[in-house]
Amino acid sequence: MTRYKRERLAMAVECTVIEHYRHGALEDALLKGLAAAGKDVNNLTPDDLAPADEFHIGGRQATIDFAAEFKPSADTHWLDIGSGLGGPSRYVAHTYHCRIIGVDLSEEYVGVAGSLSRRVGLGGKVSYRQASALALPFENNTFDGAYMQHVGMNIADKAKLFGEVHRVLKPGGIFAIYDVMRGNDGIFSYPVPWASAAETNFVEAPATYRAQLAAEGFEVVKERNRRDFAMDLFSALQAKVIQAGGSSKFGLQIVMGANTSQKVGNMISMIERGTVGPVEMICRRIEVNPHAENM
Ligand SMILES: C[S@@+](CC[C@H](N)C(=O)[O-])C[C@H]1O[C@@H](n2cnc3c(N)ncnc32)[C@H](O)[C@@H]1O
């Protein structure tokens, strides 16, 4: 396939990804959900938002565990790739006293992330821009570190993605990944939280990530399979819902829409069967010699 065709295809995929995540009136729906759950929407904290603004397996707890693996130093500058509604960036910036820029394809998510951050008083620490992870709008060597959570599943060209992250990181910078990855060749059921159909699902095995990361100049310093963490959490959540006689009025169902239970049900079944599972990889930028093959 020519480069032109590859780029046209990637742009078409990005339009379908934006459509998959589109809500239309998300901020309003979130505020209504918060009010229904008994929160004062004019006096919110980052923790109040956590049930709905951490859009990945394990929610806030997963972000706490993930960030503890790379612990940004105070006053460093980090990039959140596919920042969603901004829950992870608000938690990381607030906890580790660093600055974060999030990029996301969805204009709607970027707007909501900024607005929620201002509501909880973190507008000076985090900011968001609409952009593709495949064309990051930053100079070379800009960030001390970068991370992404549950984004790689929407991106076919992992080499281009990792190459872009490598370019904008400073030498030695950390790139942390928490994605859903392939476990076996089992059949895929749709919809799932990140894709309505196969055309925007690019889940890959950890070995593929490792190979592409190495080719783009990253060393994987730690890898952790989060399947058991996820399964324990799903059981605990199910028990909580049964005990409470239903789901809380403020949760990710507001973001995922009417077919939330189908999306989550398909994902959990595939995790149970080992077809997919959440995996963390902590990587470090190393230098690559682009002429090495010709020497
Ligand atoms: C499942 S959500 C995760 C959001 C956030 N990382 C979190 O954990 O709360 C996936 C996000 O990735 C974004 N995304 C997908 N493909 C992208 C791309 N090529 N460039 C930038 N963002 C992308 C989507 O718009 C969506 O907000």
**Which of 154, 192, 196, 263 to mutate to test ligand 1, by most ligand atoms within 8 A of the CB atom?**
154
pTM of the prediction?
Answer: 0.95
At residue 242, the pLDDT reads 87
Count of CB atoms situated within 10 Å of the CB of 137: 11
User: CB-side exposure of 278: number of CA atoms within 13 Å?
Assistant: 24
Domains of the chain: 3-286 (3.40.50.150)
CA of 40 to the centre of ligand 1 (A): 28
pLDDT tens for each residue of 71-86: 999 999 999 999 999 9
The owner of tokens 């009417």 is: 258
Please, are residues 106 and 112 in contact by the beta-carbon 8 Å criterion? no
User: What integer pLDDT is reported at residue 10 of this predicted model?
Assistant: 87
- Please give the number of the atom of ligand 1 that sits closest to the Cα of 14: 19
Q: Which residues have any ligand 1 atom within 6 Å of their CB?
A: 14, 17, 21, 54-56, 82-84, 87-88, 103-106, 109, 132-134, 149-151, 154-155, 194
CA of 181 to the centre of ligand 1 (A): 15
Identify the residue whose C-alpha is closest to ligand 1 atom 7. Answer: 55
Strands (E), the chain: 77-81, 99-104, 126-130, 143-149, 169-182, 218-225, 276-285
Distance between Cα 242 and ligand 1 center (Å): 31
For helices 46-53 and 87-96, the axis angle rounded to 10 degrees is: 140
Mutate to test the pocket of ligand 1, among 151, 254, 255 (most ligand atoms within 8 A of CB): 151
Q: Which residues of the chain have pLDDT under 70?
A: 289-295
Q: Are strands 276-285 and 218-225 parallel, antiparallel or unpaired?
A: antiparallel
Ligand 1, atom 12, residue with closest C-alpha: 82
Q: What is the pLDDT of residues 124-178, one digit of tens each?
A: 999 999 999 999 999 999 999 999 999 999 999 999 999 999 999 999 999 999 9
Q: How far is the CA of 289 from the centre of ligand 1 (A)?
A: 31
From ligand 1's centre to the CA of 83, what distance in Å? 6
Q: What are phi and psi of 177, to 5 degrees?
A: -125, 135
Instruction: Measure the CA–CA gap between 77 and 126, rounded to whole angstroms.
Output: 10
For 47: left if phi > 0, alpha if psi spans -120 to 50, otherwise beta; the answer is alpha
Instruction: Determine whether 256 is exposed, middle or buried from the number of CB atoms within 10 Å of its CB (0-12, 13-18, 19+).
Output: buried
Question: CB of 96 within 8 A of CB of 68?
Answer: no
Q: How far is CA 277 from the centre of its chain?
A: 14
